[in-house]
């Protein structure tokens, strides 16, 4: 790629960061894996977000067949939509969740997954409304609150988004996915130093998963420390997964000056909320 940072390349980097944020924020909203049974409901062998391309294709075909037999089943429907979304088929995932939500209007897991599909399809206002319907004020779900934050970030409402993340942290202190979302929120506004602070805190939590560490690797790489970023990206992964993650990082950072320009922006006096660490 070229040596200079263009507006288009900057947007691509930030769009990739936004995609990482919303995937992580919404991944835990549905608890369908816990409800899996044998028989008419095929069982997933691992979380959808951790599948490689071959596993995604196989699972999508298998779960899709089950969905065709019973499109009203909430477990099959949610899993099928998640698989479609992870395969980049956002419009089809949304269509599936529309049907499942009609058949299961009071199911919180279904509503949360429907909101996820709407957000992935760019229907942010509708997604916020759907997630609000899934929420229960007397026993609020921190996952849904964090998901609201991710959607608000996608809408460019960083201040509102960060408030929702902190609301979620009040319920679930030190939760790595929330801390990661908060860090990625600062990536979206170019404040990489604050982003790294939150992401290091997230990655240091015992329950942090590889997606949190990949977000940290991205932010470290955006600041020009690619050997360190590659080391983080390869941690605790199989060689194949590590190679795929490093290839993704290289594709995001391959413009020679992109991370340097972003770091320079981060050092500009008066950067919004740049000193916040909580």
Residue with the larger pLDDT of the pair 11 and 214:
214
pLDDT band per the 50, 70, 90 thresholds, residue 41:
low
Q: Let me know whether 256 and 177 are in one domain.
A: yes
Residue 39 has pLDDT above 70, yes or no: no
Q: What is the pLDDT of residue 51?
A: 79
- Does residue 151 sit within a domain? no
Between 197 and 23, residue with greater pLDDT:
197
What is the domain extent for residue 110? 30-140
Round the average pLDDT of the chain to a whole number and report it. Answer: 80
Summarize pLDDT for 125-137 with one digit per residue, the tens.
999 999 999 999 8
**pLDDT value at position 21?**
53
Asked whether residue 129 falls in the same domain as residue 80, the answer is yes
Same domain for 246 and 178: yes
pLDDT (0 to 100) of residue 48? 76
Residues 19 and 35 in one domain: no
Mean local confidence (pLDDT), 42-54:
78
Of all residues in the chain, what percent carry a pLDDT higher than 90? 53
Structure confidence at residue 5 (pLDDT): 29
Asked if 1 and 36 sit in the same domain, the reply is no
Within a domain: 54: yes
Number of folded domains that form the chain: 2
Domain assignment present for 78: yes
* Of 114, 140, 166, the domain-final residue: 140
Is 262 contained in some domain? Answer: yes
Average pLDDT over residues 173-199: 95
Give the CATH number of the domain where residue 78 resides. Answer: 1.25.40.10
User: Would the pLDDT of 94 be above 70?
Assistant: yes
Query: Does residue 146 fall inside a structural domain?
Result: no
Lowest mean pLDDT among 16-20, 74-78, 147-151: 16-20
**Do 18 and 49 belong together in one domain?**
no
Residues 174 and 230 in one domain: yes
Q: For residue 150, is it within any domain?
A: no
Would 177 be classed as within a structural domain? yes
What's the pLDDT tens digit per position in 235-278? 877 787 778 778 877 777 765 445 455 445 545 554 444 334 33
> Do 4 and 76 sit in the same domain of this protein?
no
Residue 4 scores a pLDDT above 50: no
Asked whether residue 196 is domain-assigned, the answer is yes
Same domain for 7 and 36?
Answer: no
C-alpha angle with apex 114: 109 to 117, nearest 5 degrees? 130
Distance between CA atoms of residues 183 and 44, nearest Å: 30
Q: What is the mean pLDDT of residues 102-120?
A: 92
- State pTM to two decimals: 0.75
């Amino acid at each position: 790629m070229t040596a200079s940072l263009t507006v288009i390349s900057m947007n691509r980097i930030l769009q990739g960061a936004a995609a990482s944020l919303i995937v992580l924020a919404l991944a835990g909203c549905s608890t369908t894996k816990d409800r899996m049974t044998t028989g008419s409901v095929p069982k997933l062998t691992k979380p959808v977000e951790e599948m490689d391309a071959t596993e995604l294709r196989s699972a999508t075909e298998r779960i899709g067949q089950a969905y065709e037999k019973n499109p009203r089943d909430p477990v099959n429907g949610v899993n099928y939509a998640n698989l479609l979304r992870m395969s980049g088929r956002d419009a089809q995932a949304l269509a599936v969740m529309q049907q499942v939500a009609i058949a299961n209007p009071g199911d919180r897991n279904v509503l949360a997954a429907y909101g996820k599909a709407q957000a992935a399809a760019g229907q942010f206002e509708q997604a916020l409304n759907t997630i609000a319907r899934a929420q229960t004020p007397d026993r609020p779900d921190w996952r849904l609150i964090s998901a609201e934050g991710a959607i608000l970030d996608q809408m460019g409402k960083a201040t509102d988004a960060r408030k929702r993340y902190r609301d979620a942290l009040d319920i679930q202190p030190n939760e790595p996915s929330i801390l990661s979302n908060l860090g990625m929120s600062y990536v979206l506004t170019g404040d990489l130093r604050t982003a790294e602070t939150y992401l290091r805190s997230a990655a240091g939590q015992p329950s942090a998963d590889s997606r949190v560490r990949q977000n940290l690797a991205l932010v470290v790489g955006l600041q020009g420390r690619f050997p360190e970023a590659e080391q983080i990206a390869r941690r605790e992964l199989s060689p194949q997964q590590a190679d795929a993650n490093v290839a993704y990082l290289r594709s995001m950072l391959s413009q020679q000056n992109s991370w340097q320009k972003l770091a320079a922006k981060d050092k500009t006096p008066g950067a919004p909320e740049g000193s916040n660490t909580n």
